[in-house]
């Protein structure tokens, strides 16, 4: 913020700069400021502010990832206390926003490893799907009473579906979008059959192709010319013969372009989706 709204020619002024370091670990940070003036030869001046951020107290890593872990099993990740005050502070407990995510604290480190002071446990009861949760680690620090730890990941079952939705994008009312396709595969040695596919939107029709019997199927979705609405908001329900993944629901989305934007506008394709939340492909868990 400048000391005055305008500084006259030949005059002096002061610019107060507030440097917000944001969250995360310490280290070198850099911000840029642009100062404008009425000098015809140089109407703006760029200033660079650099600093070294020192972390008082934190957790490393600040985000815990359980990426594509198997349903019905307990999974564990570790974190440690970091920052200048880490040796003078005591961790007093935790608060989890999800009962299926718990934490344990050992100041000396689990398994004798000082980099494993905080154990984050994903319980076997965690439902399938992607998740983003928060765990607060409480401390006795005089100013930093708790530290937020983000916990993300996905729990997978016996079947994967990719992409994770049927999205027809933005399209003109007089030009329906092209077909969309889903690939439905089994995980590991599991075999399955698709018994039925239904759409909550009557104008969205489907057809199923067997790629490898019991292992992989391809589902085609199309939007009929009879669709007269302005947006698509529904789901496909895929019924299988599996006990745990007997019903798989896939969102349907899309929207008609506003009249002013329709003239000469091509259909806009959505970005490629990722495998559906609770039914993503299984992959080796990242190293702890």
Contact 161, 246 (CB under 8 A): no
Q: Which portions of the chain are predicted below pLDDT 70? A: 1-4, 21-26, 260-288
Output the pLDDT for position 67: 87
Output the pLDDT for position 283: 40
Residue 123 lies in a domain: yes
The dihedral sign for the CA sequence 148, 149, 152, 157: negative
CATH number of the domain at 275, please: 2.60.40.10
Question: Which residue is associated with the tokens 């440690």?
Answer: 80
Output the pLDDT for position 272: 54
Q: For residues 142 and 195, state if they share a domain.
A: no
- Please tell me the pTM assigned to this model: 0.59
Residue ending a domain, among 132, 156, 180, is 156
Output the pLDDT for position 36: 82
State how many domains the chain has: 2
Instruction: Give the tokens for residue 100.
Output: 């299926």
Provide the residue range defining the domain that includes 95: 58-156
Return the closest-CA partner of residue 277 out of 122, 159, 100, 150.
159
pLDDT tens for each residue of 163-207: 989 999 999 888 888 899 999 999 888 999 999 999 999 999 999
Output the pLDDT for position 285: 40
Q: For residues 260 and 234, state if they share a domain.
A: yes
Q: Which pairing describes strands 166-171 and 204-212: parallel, antiparallel, or unpaired?
A: unpaired
Residue ending a domain, among 90, 125, 156, is 156
Output the pLDDT for position 286: 43
Residue ending a domain, among 123, 156, 189, is 156
């Amino acid at each position: 913020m400048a000391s005055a709204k305008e500084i006259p020619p030949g005059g002096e002024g002061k610019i107060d700069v507030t440097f917000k370091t944001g969250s995360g670990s310490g280290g070198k940070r850099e911000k840029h400021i642009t100062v404008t003036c009425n000098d015809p030869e140089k109407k703006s001046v760029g200033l660079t502010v650099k600093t070294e951020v020192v972390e008082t107290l934190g957790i490393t890593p600040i985000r815990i990832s359980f990426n594509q872990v198997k349903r019905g099993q307990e999974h564990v990740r570790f974190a440690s206390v970091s920052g200048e005050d880490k040796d003078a502070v005591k961790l007093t407990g935790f608060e989890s926003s999800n009962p299926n995510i718990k934490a344990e604290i050992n100041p000396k480190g689990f398994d004798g490893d000082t980099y494993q002071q905080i154990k984050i446990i994903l319980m076997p009861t965690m439902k399938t799907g992607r998740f983003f949760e928060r765990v607060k680690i409480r401390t006795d620090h005089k100013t930093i009473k708790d530290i937020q730890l983000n916990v993300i990941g996905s729990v997978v079952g016996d079947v994967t579906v990719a992409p994770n939705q049927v999205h027809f994008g933005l399209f003109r009312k007089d030009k329906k979008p092209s077909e969309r396709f889903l690939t439905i595969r089994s995980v590991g040695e599991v075999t399955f059959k698709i018994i039925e596919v239904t759409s909550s939107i009557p104008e969205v029709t489907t057809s199923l192709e067997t790629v490898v019997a019991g292992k992989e199927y391809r589902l085609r979705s199309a939007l009929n010319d009879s669709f007269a609405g302005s947006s698509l908001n529904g789901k496909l329900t895929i019924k299988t013969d599996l006990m745990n993944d007997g019903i798989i629901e896939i969102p349907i989305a899309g929207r008609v372009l506003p009249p002013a934007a329709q003239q000469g506008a091509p259909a806009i394709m959505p970005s490629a989706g990722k495998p559906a939340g609770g039914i993503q492909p299984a992959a080796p868990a990242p190293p702890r």
